[in-house]
Amino acid sequence: MTIKPGDTLPSATLTQMSEKGPQPVTTDELFKGKRVVLFALPGAFTPTCSARHLPGFVEQADEIKKHGVADVICLSVNDAFVMNAWGREHKTSGRVHMVADGNAEFTKKVGLAFDGSKFGMGERSQRYAMIVNDGKVEKLFVEDAGGFSVSSAENVLANL
């Protein structure tokens, strides 16, 4: 079952890079008591994700935060090392929080996983964005397969 507006995000442990290396971070730590924009994508360093999805949120992060958003989080079914390297390449520091869902735990729990095995990618996240307020989904924007419009930074900003 896919998560929908009004639902509470499930508990999951994700990973983020710190000065000490990869560190666990829970969904409570990321979402409790604040308004957050989360966007997820099939994979770091993939064409649409690198050319349009992540760069759009990096460019719009300050404007998004002006609307009462405490954090902008990028999530992918990659490891923390990959997410950190991708974040460095796109200069996300201070703008977009890079979070790894390496085992697709969160992605499966919200019902937004897909099987990319026929492309050699294994289990991945669908492309989506959501506005989360104190752990509850306020708005959800899920792309059709291969699409990129509703989960864009511009669309999220227009819906804040």
Domain that holds residue 66: 13-158
The answer to whether position 6 is within a domain reads: no
The per-residue pLDDT for 46 is 83
Q: Yes or no: say if 69 and 106 are a contact pair by the CB < 8 Å rule.
A: no
The answer to whether position 3 is within a domain reads: no
Closest CA to 153 of 103, 89, 109, 96: 96
The answer to whether position 8 is within a domain reads: no
Mean pLDDT of 45-60: 91
Task: Point out the residues that are catalytic.
Answer: 49
CATH number of the domain to which 137 belongs = 3.40.30.10
Question: Which residues lie closer than 8 Å to 90 by C-beta, 6 or more apart?
Answer: 50, 54, 55, 58, 96
The answer to whether position 146 is within a domain reads: yes
Among 10-24, 36-50, 67-81, 93-107, name the one with the lowest average pLDDT: 36-50
Closest CA to 147 of 116, 130, 122, 126: 126
Adjacent-strand bridge partners of 136: 8, 133
The answer to whether position 7 is within a domain reads: no
Mean of the per-residue pLDDT values for the chain? 95
Reduced to 3 states (helix: H, G, I; strand: E, B; else coil), residue 27 is helix
- pLDDT of 97-154, one tens digit each? 999 999 999 999 999 998 877 876 778 899 999 999 999 999 999 999 888 999 999 9
Domain count, the chain: 1
